[in-house]
Structure 1
Amino acid sequence: MSSSSQDQAFQGTSLEGKVIVVTGGFGVLGSALGQQLRAQGARIALLDRADPATAGIVNDQTILALGGVDLTSVESATAALKQTAEHFGRIDGLVNVAGGFAWETVEGGSLATWDHLYQMNLRTAVVASQAVLEHLFAAQAGRIVNVSAQASLKAGMGMGAYAASKAGVARLTEALAEELKDRHITVNAVLPSIIDTPTNRKDMPDADCSRWVSPVQLAAVIAFLLSDAAQAVTGACLPVSGRV
């Protein structure tokens, strides 16, 4: 590769001036991703059900923190994205981080768990993706990155409801990528294994967490998929496994 081609490739990973929306933005991964995107020059909107004050987030010229957003509600998501577009003047990308986990066997479990994980993991991604499209069309380009899971490929015991909801996120990714591939919008997903979070460390105290994926590592992969350098990638469900 020539020196000029290398320079163009490196410049393509910059997010300078891009406006990126991160759902679940006050959580461990959402916060790490927000820091990563700001470091690469992006302006970000963090959407969450929680109060920004409790998350210790202060708005400035590069960050808009919107709490009390119910991403299962079309009206709530639409209003939050409209507020983001009015604040920054545009939206260039969406990352669907919002979600949750529950371990429960089918035999001893409840249908309510399946409904709850569907709502948190899949419905939020569908609602936010639908709501952002008009803004991405207005920008005449755009990126959507979904957070699925390695469990979407093969579920273990007690992982049925979670894996099914995350498999839905992967299939949403593929279907929407096909739908939008001629409209200059890419849609991809990351499939992490176990993310190194305080909750996972507490729930699995005997595990070797050095083998897990750190939020910073996962955020770096997401940032690449949001960049111009990834414009030829769409419909991908990318495993991010660490050493699990």
Structure 2
Amino acid sequence: MTAKRFEGKVAIVTGGSMGIGRSTVLQLAAEGAHVVSCARRKPKLDELEEKVKALGGSFTGYGLDVGDTDAFAAMIKETAERHGRLDLLVNNAPSVIGGMVVDQTLEAWKSNFGIGVHSVFIGVQAALRIMQPQGSGSIVNVSSVSSLRAGLASGAYGAAKAALNQFSQCAAMEAAPYNVRVNVVAPGAVDTPGLNASVRKNEAVKKIMTDSIPMRRAATPEEVAKAICFLGSDDSSFITGVILPVDGGKTPQLYVPAFDITNLDNQAEDR
């Protein structure tokens, strides 16, 4: 039987039409929350609403791009006014435009920051204006392991997510006296349409990527959603300002080129 950690609570999830966002919406709804979600693809949210209703949950979808920060802030305010509260905001909507530094345009750089940082700032600001007077609430921002480790063609995206991490920790310090928590989930490779797009649907490249993860696979969207829901729930009531990697051990991994361990002698023991 699914725990009802969010019974009677109101949650907003951005980018809920697919991947991590969709799984988070379903998890929250299954646990009793009324979930509000926005995405650019409204028909996908309509499909998600039917899925939530089939599970006995409650859902409202908005066809909205969080890059339209005025509309995004208005949606958050309207949600709180309609339901009398706001308990959880999950800033998940992604923008990933990769490129080598020598090739990437300033417009692509700005796009990574526009969705990954600017819209998150507006969302957190709007949520805190509701949650701090309310005396409770939780915000979970979705970052990436690219914010913690360097990689090729991820300068703009990684820099934006690193800025998101620092901003989240500063917001956590400001919100803590009001019993409002701000945390970050930093996924590694996740089996979503976004991952398939990043490797151009090349299964061989995808296998190389996932084989490099200590757990030898990508995460499922549901696994990341569970981490988000943990940080968003009272199960983590004394946790704020953390950056939680959900990456199968990739972030702490020391890379060592593969070699045949059977060819080693006892030199280590002799030393």
Smaller-chain TM-score bracket: 0.7 to 0.9
Offset of 1:155 from its aligned partner? 1.7
Offset of 1:201 from its aligned partner? 2.8
Aligned partner of 2:35 among 23, 28, 44: 44
- Residue type matched to 2:232 in 1? L
- Residue type matched to 1:219 in 2? A
Distance, in Å, in 2 between the alignment partners of 1:115 and 1:121 is: 10
Matches within 5 A, 1:185-200: 185-200=180-195
The question of 1:63 aligning with 2:59 is answered yes
SS in 2 for 1:224: helix
Deviates more, 1:23-32 or 1:90-99: 23-32
Deviates more, 1:73-82 or 1:19-28: 73-82
2:21 matched residue in structure 1: 30
| Higher relative contact order, structure no. (Cα contacts within 8 Å, ≥ 6 residues apart) | 1
Matches within 5 A, 1:6-155: 14-52=5-43, 56-58=47-49, 62-67=58-63, 69-155=64-150
Distance, in Å, in 2 between the alignment partners of 1:216 and 1:223 is: 10
2:158 matched residue in structure 1: 163
SS in 1 for 2:245: strand
Offset of 1:71 from its aligned partner? 2.0
Note if contact 1:20-1:45 (Cα within 8 Å) is conserved in structure 2: yes
Distance, in Å, in 2 between the alignment partners of 1:62 and 1:22 is: 13
- Residue type matched to 1:42 in 2? A
1:92-129 alpha-carbon deviations (Å, 9 max, x no partner): 11000012212200112211111010001111111111
Count of residue pairs brought into register by the alignment: 233
The verdict on how the C-alpha distance between 1:200 and 1:74 changes in structure 2, with shifts beyond 3 A counting, is closer
Distance, in Å, in 2 between the alignment partners of 1:173 and 1:199 is: 24
Distance, in Å, in 1 between the alignment partners of 2:104 and 2:49 is: 40
- Residue type matched to 2:203 in 1? P
2:222 matched residue in structure 1: 216
TM-score, normalised with respect to structure 2: 0.80
SS in 2 for 1:58: helix
- Residue type matched to 2:138 in 1? R
Note if contact 1:95-1:146 (Cα within 8 Å) is conserved in structure 2: yes
1:235 matched residue in structure 2: 241
Note if contact 1:212-1:243 (Cα within 8 Å) is conserved in structure 2: no
TM-score, normalised with respect to structure 1: 0.88
Greater C-alpha Rg: 2
